[in-house]
Structure 1
């Protein structure tokens, strides 16, 4: 995402435009090259209202980038991307993954793929009562049932909740 094109922290509520631009590494004979393209589905471009904490974190992050830009001076590359290195250059997805793993190791937690956060978020939304079609729309799926079929992973506690609902239906 780019600050100017995809993030509006002044909107009420603050918003992001998700899915419009993706960056991935394509591996070939010369190594990995970053490729930019649009999302995979027709529903990819969507404006999402940001939770207030996420908006606050983005504001803090943007202020940090401004300080890094001042410190770097002419060496700073104003790429406009949200996720950049200290010199303003867009980072490769493998750099982000390695950095996340370093932070997980330092925190003493097991390593998980960054993509698993998507599964966790969609599961949390669904298990918190957000209807399946809305969860799928949030994720940018073309098929509004895909979140339930692929991304939502009910826990043992979720199953106990279903049992409690059935208990109420059947009477005790």
Structure 2
């Protein structure tokens, strides 16, 4: 039995079973019983390191729970932010990443035993499966979960903050429908069997964001003047992305027609549902009036695209906004006007986000020269 001194506490390390046990004398409790702090390990060094950490936690007021795992910290964090007013789609994104990318890999590690090496190995292992954006989000979730646990004295330090987020796999760049594809989708969306048809039509001809469409209310739609007022979004506290995102937009005739049909349909559904109807004044909602989640919108959107003859798995709802920008640009609408229509604070944002959809202005000179002097194709002919 080896005597040890850690900080102001005396103790000993002794052989037990296949490893070693260390015990420190902490004095006597209020009931007069002796208090001891014990840790086990495979080697004396392991035990000494654990005892040093335990003493450090003790002096900092940390009270580690041997039954509190990484999965518990992540679950407590998710519960806390669910009560903070975060947008439902944000909560669902966090929940999906926790359930599928965090808990299966490090959720079973006791929080007090989690090391920076554990976190680094986990992140590097997910880097080939997640985009850099998703990898950054799930790393941030772990950091915030441990930070919350530390505030509740369950752990002494945040090891997740000691690790840099690695680069993930490249994200799929957003695309836009061609004019022909857009026409096919609009024709299909106009059919009565597609409950989300008016959503698709309005998205293509207005460029509204998906989170703006999901929270659009009938009180913000003036069918007589063909105007939609964007006042809310499915974001934290219902705020739009920027102040300039709050805007009024004139809406094309086909969208007004689709919205009129949808309003009549909803009136009939309201009567059928009776007291069971949830009146949120939402333009796009279930037959019961309940709001759509982002996932539900995505599934219904893909049904429209499949029926229009497109490979629906290759597209997502936000690309309808990209389609709007592309069509506007191809038809000579100035960049400044497009920026206003999509609610950007300036044209720099529009250029950066939608650079693949904007018609390259720098090519105009070359196109004019080809018209004046003839192109290579003309000469070869």
TM-score relative to the length of structure 1: 0.79
Q: Which residue number in structure 1 is paired with residue 373 of structure 2?
A: 171
Q: 2:273 pairs with 58, 72, 79, which one?
A: 72
The reply on whether 1:17 has 2:229 as its aligned counterpart is: yes
2:295 and 2:357 map into 1 onto residues whose CA distance is 29
Instruction: Check the 8 A contact 1:132/1:145 in 2, yes or no.
Output: no
Residue ranges of structure 2 left out of the alignment (5+ in a row): 1-215, 375-381
Q: Which residue number in structure 2 is paired with residue 7 of structure 1?
A: 221
The reply on whether 1:41 has 2:252 as its aligned counterpart is: no
1:60 and 1:145 map into 2 onto residues whose CA distance is 38
Q: 1:134 pairs with 337, 346, 359, which one?
A: 337
Aligned length: 156
1:135 and 1:155 map into 2 onto residues whose CA distance is 10
Deviations 1:110-163 (A, max 9, x none): 12100011111101101110000110110000122322332143599x999875
Shift of 1:72: 1.3
Deviations 1:28-75 (A, max 9, x none): xxxxxxx55211222111100001111111111111111111111221
Shift of 1:79: 1.1
Secondary structure (helix, strand or coil) at the match of 1:22 reads: coil
Higher RCO (C-alpha 8 Å, min separation 6): 1
Residue ranges of structure 1 left out of the alignment (5+ in a row): 25-34
Give the number of the structure whose residues are more often helix, by fraction.
2
2:275 and 2:365 map into 1 onto residues whose CA distance is 59
Q: Which residue number in structure 1 is paired with residue 22 of structure 2?
A: none
Pick the structure with greater CA Rg.
Answer: 2
1:162 and 1:127 map into 2 onto residues whose CA distance is 16
The reply on whether 1:150 has 2:353 as its aligned counterpart is: yes
Instruction: Check the 8 A contact 1:81/1:90 in 2, yes or no.
Output: yes
Change (3 A) 1:162 1:66: farther
2:347 and 2:363 map into 1 onto residues whose CA distance is 26
RMSD of the alignment, in Å? 2.5
Shift of 1:16: 0.3
